[in-house]
Amino acid sequence: MILNDMLDSIREAEKIAIVTHVSPDGDGIGCVTALYKAMNKLRKDVSIFIDDDIPEIYRFVPYTDKITKPFDISVDLLIAVDCADSDRMGKAKELLRKVPKSINIDHHISNTLYATMNYVDTNAASSSEIVYQLIKILGIDLDQEIAECLYVGVVTDTGHFMYGSTTSFTHEVAGDLINNGASVDKISNIIFHNIKYEKLKLIGRVIDNMELYFGGKVAYMEISKEDFLKTNTKLEDVENIINYGRDIDSVEIAIMLVEKDDFVKGSLRSKKYVDVNKLAKEFGGGGHVRASGFLVKGSINDVKEKILDLIKSEVDE
């Protein structure tokens, strides 16, 4: 049984490395830091590796100061969390070849089962839910720090309990984390109510220039180099702005085109029925049925014209 093998491997290991994916999000960061503290409680020699920078917004999470970029180290056990495939670890992937044992903890349906022990629960709304269970099964007491780390993972990966993946177990976990000291007020203020003025100005500008097409079914947004300059923002500030378009009552597809050097970065979101993965493929991109993207050489105007032309038949039905 995988679970028993995992527990035995953790109990036997002296030196453990924990990794999560590049472009780390709240769930990945919450998992590795919670596991760091938990393994410390088991008196293990632990390191956390992430082959990327930690976003400003997550630096309040306990033990994020312990995260280092991959380097050459010899450990008994590697625990990879929230990585659907090993490439998502970036350079930390190298560790996989070197360790005698590895554990892959994840909730993505696309997981490639790359470790010696794979514990993938696709019903879990976040990897933090799985790590929560693992910590419980190992008999490690929750404390305020572990609770805070895991709560960050739970709320970010469920869109604060709004995504359909949220189950009654998600709420059970959240309740237990609050009982163990996770502060709802503090964490939601830091993560969800803490926007930069510059980004807000960019949002205002994008909304102001937004256009609706095809009877309001398509929301079109764009950000030019000039928009970045005028609002003193950069590419990373674009994140999630597309949701303002998707959240309009009449809209089925939201399009966001962003000017980047000689390229156009496109993002597509759909609400109910349009397969935007198929649309993104027309531009050499891809993703999911309801969220996809592409990067294509050209001008915003050319891409806009082509994409509206393609979308026409999708929403005209």
Does 171 engage in binding with a second copy (CB under 8 A)?
Answer: yes
User: d(Cα 8, Cα 176) in Å, to the nearest integer?
Assistant: 26
Site for a second copy in 145-164 (CB under 8 A): 159-164
- What is the CB neighbour count within 10 angstroms for residue 34? 32
Q: CB under 8 A: which stretch of 80-88, 92-100, 129-137, 187-195 binds a second copy? A: 187-195
Site for a second copy in 203-242 (CB under 8 A): 203-208, 210, 212, 216
Distances (CA, A) of 205 to 133, 200, 220, 244, 277: 44, 9, 13, 12, 27
Least Å distance, CB 181 to a second copy, is 11
Site for a second copy in 260-279 (CB under 8 A): 271
Q: CB under 8 A: which stretch of 22-30, 36-44, 130-138, 248-256 binds a second copy? A: 248-256
The strand order across the sheet containing 218-223 reads: 211-213, 218-223, 253-260, 263-270, 291-297, 286-287
**Rg of the chain in Å (alpha carbons):** 21
Contacts of residues 159-168 at CB distance under 8 Å and 24 or more positions apart, as own/partner, are 160/188, 160/192, 163/125, 165/125, 166/125, 167/123, 167/125
Q: Which is nearer to a second copy, 100 or 204 (CB)?
A: 204
Indicate which single residue of 96, 169, 260, 263 sits in contact with a second copy (rule: CB under 8 A).
Answer: 169
Residues lying near a second copy in the complex (CB under 8 A): 159-164, 166-172, 174-176, 178-179, 183-185, 188-189, 192-197, 200-201, 203-208, 210, 212, 216, 243-244, 246-250, 271
